[in-house]
Structure formats: structure tokens, C-alpha cells
Structure 1
Amino acid sequence: MIDYLTNLVTRICDRSEQLNNGQTTSWQALREAEQLANHAYIPLLYQYIETEPDKDKRRAAGFIITQLSRNTNEPEVIRFLMDRLKTEQDADMITGIQQDLERGLTIPGYINLEPLLNNTLSLNNNIRRSALLALRGTHNPAVEDWALSLLKRTVNEYDVYYIALLLHKVGTRKSLPSLKRLLEYHRQDVKSLAFATIADIEKEKEAMFYTRCLLRGHLKFEAMEAIYKYADENAIQAVTARITELLSKRRSSARMTIETVKNGFTDLMLGMEFLSRFKAAKADVKKTFSWITEKRADYLLPEEREWVQRNLIPNS
């Protein structure tokens, strides 16, 4: 059993460019590790990581044990990795362990988060930011308080982004004052995260705020997404105005990449999805869709045209 694991580690560490069926040895070994589910491998890997002097091999073993923890639902691996953060001295290894924690199981509430919290104060950028990402995997309420305290004293704009990313996962109403201040931050990605987090916390309560933002042209995509998720028919006029604005001129296909989020929608598609909820009852919505299909079909991006074909054109 240990021979197999040692061989797998060696293959993961293989840096040759030799291809096997179009894939490198290392790539194939990583995909193999992702499928492992033998719980008996875990204690063997504990011992291997604690005694192996080569950091690349320890790193590979850490990747394997993280996959095993996910596939066997073994949270004690997280405690082991946390303990390793206290003993590892190499910055790359610490960063790698924190990346493993990020991609692993949710961190149980009984796990001591002190190693990760301490590492958010590291002078090393990679250690600091990978620790913030790893903390997204816990529901411990202390993490939100910690993130808010960091935000008050952080001047590094990249760190502010990672803190905003953490708050997007763990933030509650307690974070709202800080998030609202971030709406005026100079970085667009920070403002976008703050807006999305506020919307996911407040939901329907702030539907009028999302509508006002859309009408004022402030964080338009984020406002449209929040309306799509949480607003009612009171937002129809604002959404219609935004759709009219978007289709007032032709856009390049490259815009799709800029406007697309994880759900694969542009803000125009989100707007049309929102309006489609009311097309059976609202004459003005029907009129807007007729205008799109009859007057502005050539102005749609390819993905938007497909949406129209699926949802608005009969028998398409």
C-alpha cells in the first residue's frame, strides 16, 4: 500500500514533458489522486508527510490526502493540515497547505483556526491571501469578526479584495456598514463583491436600493443580478430602461467575456430572464420583448440570441 502511494507521489512530481495519450505523467497522476477513496491510505500519508524531507513530495502527498478527505468525508485530515501549518517553515509549503484547506472539506467548528488567523497577518503575500481563502471554508462566526478587524487596518488593495471575498462567504448583517463603505472603493472588483454580498445578505429587503442603483448607472451589472435574484414587479421599469440602453447600439462579441459571470448570463440576459416572469400579465413587458425580437435581433450577442430563440420565438 505504501509502495503505491510512494509511486503516486513520484508520478505527481514528475516534471518531464513526455506525454502519454496526450497528457503528462504528472497530470494523469493528479487525476488518479482525485479518485482515491481508500480511508486506509490516510494514516500512511500522515506518517509520510511528517518524515519526508523533500518539500515537493510532501506537497504532492498533501494534495492526495486532501482528495482522500473529500472522498471519504474524513474531517480529521483538516486537523492534521492545521497542525502542519505550525511546523512547516517553507512559505511555498504553507501556501500549498492553505490551498489544500481551501479545496477540501468544510472546516468543522471544533477545529482551532489560530494557525490560519495568524497567517492572515504574515508578511508574505501568498501566505496571507491563501489563509484568507482557506477561511472561506468555515462557518465559525469568529471569522467574520476577524475579517472586519483586518479590513479596518488593511491598506493593501489586493488584501482588501481577498477580505471582501471572505466576507462574501461569511458576512452577515454585522458586516453591512463595512460593505457599504466598500461600495465607494476605487477597485471595481471590490465594489462588485461588496454589492453582491449586501444583496445576498439583505435579499428582498433592499430591492428598491438595487433598482435605484440600476437607474443611476451605479454597478449596473451587479444591480441587475440582484434584481434578478430578489426584486419584484416594481423593478420592471428600471430593467426595461436598462435593456433599452444596452440595445441602443451594437456591442462586440468580446463584451460577452467581460459581462459574463459564473451563471453564464450577460446583464441583458438577466434582465430578460427577470422580465419573462411577468410577460403573461404585463403588456409593457410583451411590448419590450416584441421590440427586441422585431427591431433589435441583430444587436444581440450570440448567447443572447440563443436565449431569445429558446424563450421568445414560438416553435424555435
Structure 2
Amino acid sequence: MIDYLSNLVARICDRTEQLHNGQTTSWQALREAEQLANHAYIPLLYQYITQEPDKDKRRAACFIITQLSRNTNDPEVIRFLLDRLRMEQDADMITSMQQDLERGLAIPSYINLEPLFNNTLSLNNNIRRSALLALRCSHHPAVEDWALNLLKRTVNEYDIYYITLLLHKVGTPKSVPALRRLLEYHRQDVKSLAFAAIADIEKEKEAMFYARCLMRGQLKFEAMEAIYKYADETAIPSVTARITELLSKRRSSARMTIETVKNGFTDLMLGMEFLFRFRTAKSDVKKTFSWITEKRADYLLPEEREWVRKHLVSA
């Protein structure tokens, strides 16, 4: 058994470019590791990682044990990896272990998060930010408090992005005031994340706020997405106005690439999806769809035209 694991580690660490069936040895070994589900390997890997002096081999073993943890649903591996973070000195090794934690099981609330908290204060950018990403796997209330305190202390705009990303995952109404302040931040990606976090925390309670933002032209895609997810028929006028604005002129098809990073929809498609819920009950919605199909069909992007074909023309 240990021979197999040693061989798998060696193959993961293979840096030759020789291809086997179109893939390198390392690539094939990584895919093999992702399928492992033999719980008996876990204690052997504990011992291997503890004793192995070679950083690359420890790194490969940590990857394997993370996959085993996920495939066997064993959260105790997380405790082992967090304890190892206290001992590791190499920045790349610490970063990769935290990346493994981010991709692994949810961190149980009984496991001590101190190693990750400490690493969010590291002078090394990669250690700091991978620790913030790993903390997204825990819903312990202390994580939100820690993130809010960090937000007060840091001026690093990249750290602020990662903290906002963390709050989007673990935030509660307690985070909303800080997230609202971030709506005025100078970086668009931070503002977008903060808006999305507010929407996913407040949901239907802030539907009027999303509509106002859409009407004022503030974070228009994010506002449309929030309306699509959480608003009721009271948002119809603001959505209709935004659709009319979007189709007032022809747009470049390049916009599709920019606007579909999150969910595969342009904001026009999100707006039409929202209005489609009320198509049988609201005459103004029917008029809007008629205007789109009869007057603005040539203004639609290819993906939007396909949406119209499926939902309106074929109906």
C-alpha cells in the first residue's frame, strides 16, 4: 500500500514533458489521485507527510490526502493539515496547502482556525490571500468577525478584494454596513462583489434598493442580477426601463464575453428572464416583449436572439 502511494507521489512530481495518451505523467497521476477513496491510505499519508523532507513530495502527498478527505468525507484530515500549517516554513508549501483546504470539505466548526487566522496577517501576499480563500470553507461566526476586523485595518486593495470575497461567502446582516461602504470603493470588482454579497444576505428585503440602483445606473449588471434573483413585480418598471435603454442602440457582441463571466447571461437576458415570470399577468410586459421581437430583433446579441427564439417566438 505504501509502495503504491510512494509511486503515485513520484508520478505527480514527474516534471518530464513526455506524453502518454496525450497527457503528461504528472497530469495523469493527479487525475488518478482525484478518484481515490480508500480510507486506509489516510494514516499512511499522515506519517509520510510528517517524515518526508522533500517539499515537492510533501506537496503531492497533501494533494492526495485532500482528495481522500473529500471522497471519504473525513474532516479530520482538515485538522491534520491545519496543524501542519504551524510547522511548515516554506511559503509555496503553505500557500498550496491552503489552496487544498479551499478545494476540500467544509471546515467543521469544532476545528481550530487559528493557523488560518494567523496566516491572514502574513507578510507574504500569497499566504495571506490563500488563507482568506481557505476560510471561505468555514461558517464559524468567528470568521465573519475576523474578516470585518481585517477590513478595518487593511488598505491593500488586493487584500480588500479577497476579504470581500470571503464576506460574500460567510457574511450575515452584521456585515452589511461594511459592505455598503465598499459600494463607494474605487475598484469595480470590489464594488461588484460587495453588491452581490449584500443581495445574497438581504435577499427580498432590499428589492427596492436593487431597483433604485438599476434606475440610477449604479452597478447595473449586479442590480439586474439581484432583481432577477430576489425582486417581485414591483421591479417591473425599472427592468423595463433598463431593457429599453439597452436596446436604444446597437451593441458590440464583445459585450457578451464581459457580461457572462458569472452566470452565462447578459443583463438584458436577466431582465427578460425576470419579466417572463409575469408575461401572462401584466399587459405592459407583453408590450415590452412585442416591442423587442417586432422593433429590436436586429439589436439583440446572438445569445439574446436565441433566448427570444426559445421563449417568445416558439411559445
State TM-score, norm by structure 1. Answer: 0.98
Q: Which residue of structure 2 aligns with residue 47 of structure 1?
A: 47
Q: Which residue of structure 1 aligns with residue 135 of structure 2?
A: 135
- CA drift at 1:261: 3.5
Q: Which residue of structure 2 aligns with residue 266 of structure 1?
A: 266
- SS of structure 2 residue aligned to 1:312: helix
CA distance in structure 2 between the aligned counterparts of 1:79 and 1:159, rounded to whole angstroms: 26
CA distance in structure 1 between the aligned counterparts of 2:302 and 2:51, rounded to whole angstroms: 56
CA distance in structure 2 between the aligned counterparts of 1:268 and 1:20, rounded to whole angstroms: 46
Please give the residue correspondences for 1:105-254 in structure 2 after superposition, counting only pairs within 5 Å: 105-254=105-254
Q: Which residue of structure 2 aligns with residue 289 of structure 1?
A: 289
Q: Which residue of structure 2 aligns with residue 75 of structure 1?
A: 75
Cα distance per residue 1:168-224 (max 9 Å; x no partner): 001111111100100000000100111111111111111110000000000000000
Query: Partner letter of residue 176 of structure 1?
Result: V
- CA drift at 1:290: 1.1
Q: Which moved more, 1:260-269 or 1:135-144?
A: 260-269
- CA drift at 1:304: 1.1
CA distance in structure 1 between the aligned counterparts of 2:274 and 2:238, rounded to whole angstroms: 11
Please give the residue correspondences for 1:13-24 in structure 2 after superposition, counting only pairs within 5 Å: 13-24=13-24
Cα distance per residue 1:264-304 (max 9 Å; x no partner): 11111100000000110111111111111122122111211
Off by >6 Å, runs of 4+ in structure 1: none
- CA drift at 1:29: 0.8
Q: Which residue of structure 2 aligns with residue 58 of structure 1?
A: 58
Q: Which residue of structure 2 aligns with residue 87 of structure 1?
A: 87
Cα distance per residue 1:136-168 (max 9 Å; x no partner): 000100010000000001000000000000000
Percentage identity across paired residues of the two chains: 86
Query: Partner letter of residue 181 of structure 1?
Result: R
Cα distance per residue 1:38-62 (max 9 Å; x no partner): 0001011111111111111110111
- SS of structure 1 residue aligned to 2:184: coil
Q: Which residue of structure 2 aligns with residue 279 of structure 1?
A: 279
State TM-score, norm by structure 2. Answer: 0.98
CA distance in structure 2 between the aligned counterparts of 1:266 and 1:245, rounded to whole angstroms: 14
Query: Partner letter of residue 188 of structure 1?
Result: Q
CA distance in structure 1 between the aligned counterparts of 2:111 and 2:223, rounded to whole angstroms: 37
- CA drift at 1:92: 0.4
- CA drift at 1:305: 1.4
- SS of structure 2 residue aligned to 1:108: coil
Query: Partner letter of residue 135 of structure 1?
Result: L
- SS of structure 2 residue aligned to 1:218: coil
CA distance in structure 1 between the aligned counterparts of 2:290 and 2:264, rounded to whole angstroms: 24
Q: How many positions carry a matched residue from both structures?
A: 315
RMSD over aligned Cα, in angstroms?
Answer: 0.8
CA distance in structure 1 between the aligned counterparts of 2:17 and 2:76, rounded to whole angstroms: 36
**Structure 1 stretches of 5 or more lacking a match?**
none
- CA drift at 1:81: 0.1
- CA drift at 1:101: 0.6
- SS of structure 1 residue aligned to 2:313: coil
CA distance in structure 2 between the aligned counterparts of 1:297 and 1:207, rounded to whole angstroms: 30
- CA drift at 1:248: 1.3
Query: Partner letter of residue 69 of structure 2?
Result: S
Query: Partner letter of residue 201 of structure 1?
Result: I
**Structure 2 stretches of 5 or more lacking a match?**
none
